Amino acid sequence: MKTKLSPSRKKIRTNGNGASRVSRSVSSKARRMLIDGEWVDAVSGETFATYDPATGEIICQVAAGDKKDIDRAVKAARAAFESGPWRKMTPSDRGRAIWKLADLLEKNLEEFARLESLDNGKPLTVARVADVPLAIDLFRYMAGWATKIHGSTFPISVPYAPGARFHSYTLREPIGVVGQIIPWNFPLLMAAWKLGPALATGCTVVLKPAEQTPLSALRLGELIREAGIPDGVVNIVTGLGETAGAALAAHPGIDKVAFTGSTEVGKLIVNAAANDLKKVSLELGGKSPNIVFEDADLETAIPGAASAIFFNHGQCCCAGSLLYVHKKHFDKVVSGVSAAANKIKIGPGHQPDTEMGPLVSEEQLNRVMGYLQSGRNEGARPVVGGGRAGKRGYFVQPTVLVNTKPGMKVVKEEIFGPVVCAVPFTDPMEVVQAANSGIYGLAAAVWTRDVSKAHRLASELRAGTVWVNCYNIFDAALPFGGYRQSGWGREMGAEALELYTETKAVCVQL
Ligand code: NDP
């Protein structure tokens, strides 16, 4: 089998002795892709490497799918949709299969947490209590929806047909074959967010995981088969974005494309899908304002603000990366968040005391270091952090920047690392205006003891999620998605089902 490394990574050495038990078990063979219920190599025979971001060493090789493999997978998904048992199955049986997948995931929770920690770098302790349980819960929530997707009946009047009687109703039908492209920050959870509603509605899928983190999706593919979900319903093609991802977004056999990732690539997806007007849903970037008011309870706001940015190393689309603090509390909050940053134990994800692991890749490390440099060049000052942590792996110090100005890159753009810009304010109206002024609108938070102010701001902030006196609260029942350039459509909750169904109006003259 030929090996092809992505150009930016050719210099990284292979890990001969393996970092952990999971690492050894996955490194014994190149991982294949799941197409039509079979584990297959790429048509080209090529592979790419996935890396341990704590060391920069190769974990294993993975099949490098491209246009030809996408084409095979789309054909399999189309055949499974048109003539396989999945659509004809009762909703109850479909729901049971999704529930079984959740049970299998739960049975293998520890293995998935280890895989996620190894491939992404996140603390094992976090993957165990957040990533994997949230994915399990999402599948269970969507399993419940399988039996509750229905249309309505309508008493209609039809003024130009006096005296005629009609029976009119709507049907909710699966949208068809769906291409799903997911990122690396929550690899398993993003697969669950995408697969759950697609399966509940009876769609079939071609899923492309991120090149940095393909391992948990491939293992999930094994469980999908074990759960009895028919061949071809879920196809998993590993490969690079510019080859496999682009081919999937542009493929004429796809009815809808669902994407999570950068706003930049989101725009490419829209262009690719425009050719045949595929349905598109997008969950994109963010620069989320986190506002601490004069009347906030600082005992909760300070640790809340720290975890809003430092959770998952700041690699969250909804990270609270713009911390607005009322002038009266600015110094206290900045010093509290900085003290929290100083205490964070940085290390490889598998170590039990690690609270923050490495960024996912050398590319992300360079991107975040570039933002830190740009911040300094433009006059921002790190109160804490501000640089790389260690020389091996992709670790970055948790950083609090002050002395920022509205036009700076660090204030306007998504950094996607553990870097927060703290900005003082005095006028609540002005801070809401500032919070609403960027190109994004994914999430926002307010910290206040005034309940009417909280509700008023919740309606004034232009964001898909507003947290009040909390941050990063997710639930399968709560829709998540963005205003403006943060995306189109909502994931999770009943809203997600809208993205995977077509509504058909039926009118019968009686
Ligand atoms: P991308 O948007 O490039 O990656 C997300 C997914 O899109 C991956 O599966 C990727 O594949 C795929 N992809 C890349 N290019 C194309 C393409 N031309 N056509 C179709 N699919 C494509 O994000 P990056 O990994 O490059 O991260 C860059 C920035 O994006 C981050 O710094 C962050 O700001 C933002 N981001 C936002 C996320 C979110 O949750 N909203 C998640 C991740 C990143 P592959 O990885 O194989 O190239």
Q: Please write the tens of the pLDDT for every residue from 459-502.
A: 999 999 999 999 999 999 999 999 999 999 999 999 999 999 99
Q: Choose among 225, 230, 193: nearest CA to 209.
A: 193
Tell me: pLDDT of 5 over 60. no
Mutate to test the pocket of ligand 1, among 9, 265, 282, 465 (most ligand atoms within 8 A of CB): 265
Q: Which residues pair with 444 in a beta bridge?
A: 466
Indicate the pLDDT class of residue 261, thresholds 50, 70 and 90: very high
Q: What is the mean predicted confidence (pLDDT) over 327-335?
A: 98
Amino acid 30: pLDDT: 81
Q: Cα(476)–Cα(494) distance, rounded to whole angstroms?
A: 9
Q: What is the mean predicted confidence (pLDDT) over 174-185?
A: 98
Tell me: pLDDT of 42 over 70. yes
| Number of neighbouring beta carbons within 10 Å of residue 406 | 10
The answer to whether the CB of 4 falls within 8 A of the CB of 45 is no
The answer to whether the CB of 422 falls within 8 A of the CB of 400 is yes
Surface-to-core class of residue 96, CB atoms within 10 Å of its CB (0-12 exposed, 13-18 middle, 19+ buried): middle
Tens digit of each residue's pLDDT (9 = 90 or more) over 86-124: 999 999 999 999 999 999 999 999 999 999 999 999 999
Tell me: pLDDT of 17 over 70. no
- Atom 19, ligand 1: residue with shortest CA distance: 246
Q: Choose among 404, 294, 416: nearest CA to 365.
A: 416
- Atom 44, ligand 1: residue with shortest CA distance: 261
What is the set of active-site residues?
283, 317
With a CB cutoff of 8 Å and minimum separation 6, the contacts of 240 are 6, 48, 64, 66, 211
Q: Is the CB of 376 under 6 A from ligand 1?
A: no
E strands along 379-500, which residues? 381-384, 399-402, 419-425, 443-447, 465-468, 487-488
Tell me: pLDDT of 452 over 80. yes
Tell me: pLDDT of 206 over 90. yes
What mean pLDDT, rounded, does the chain reach?
94
Taken as a whole, the chain contains a residue count of 510
Which ligand 1 atom is at minimum distance from the Cα of 417? 32
Indicate the pLDDT class of residue 388, thresholds 50, 70 and 90: very high
Token reading at 167:
């029976």
With a CB cutoff of 8 Å and minimum separation 6, the contacts of 438 are 287, 412
Q: Is the CB of 181 under 6 A from ligand 1?
A: yes
Q: Cα(407)–Cα(120) distance, rounded to whole angstroms?
A: 32
Bin 214: left if φ > 0, else alpha if -120 < ψ < 50, else beta: alpha
Residue type present at position 257: V
The answer to whether the CB of 141 falls within 8 A of the CB of 463 is no
Q: Computed from CA positions of residues 322, 328, 331, 337, in that sequence, does the dihedral angle turn out positive or negative?
A: negative
Distance (angstroms) between ligand 1 centre and the Cα of 192 equals 17
Q: Computed from CA positions of residues 192, 193, 197, 198, in that sequence, does the dihedral angle turn out positive or negative?
A: negative
Amino acid 487: pLDDT: 98
Distance (angstroms) between ligand 1 centre and the Cα of 407 equals 25
Q: Computed from CA positions of residues 404, 414, 468, 342, in that sequence, does the dihedral angle turn out positive or negative?
A: negative
Q: What is the mean predicted confidence (pLDDT) over 140-149?
A: 98
| Number of neighbouring beta carbons within 10 Å of residue 486 | 29
Q: Cα(38)–Cα(221) distance, rounded to whole angstroms?
A: 10
Distance (angstroms) between ligand 1 centre and the Cα of 183 equals 6
Indicate the pLDDT class of residue 14, thresholds 50, 70 and 90: very low
Distance (angstroms) between ligand 1 centre and the Cα of 284 equals 9
Q: Choose among 133, 121, 135: nearest CA to 212.
A: 121
Q: Which residues pair with 443 in a beta bridge?
A: 465
Tell me: pLDDT of 215 over 70. yes
Q: Is the CB of 427 under 6 A from ligand 1?
A: no
This prediction's pTM: 0.95
With a CB cutoff of 8 Å and minimum separation 6, the contacts of 157 are none
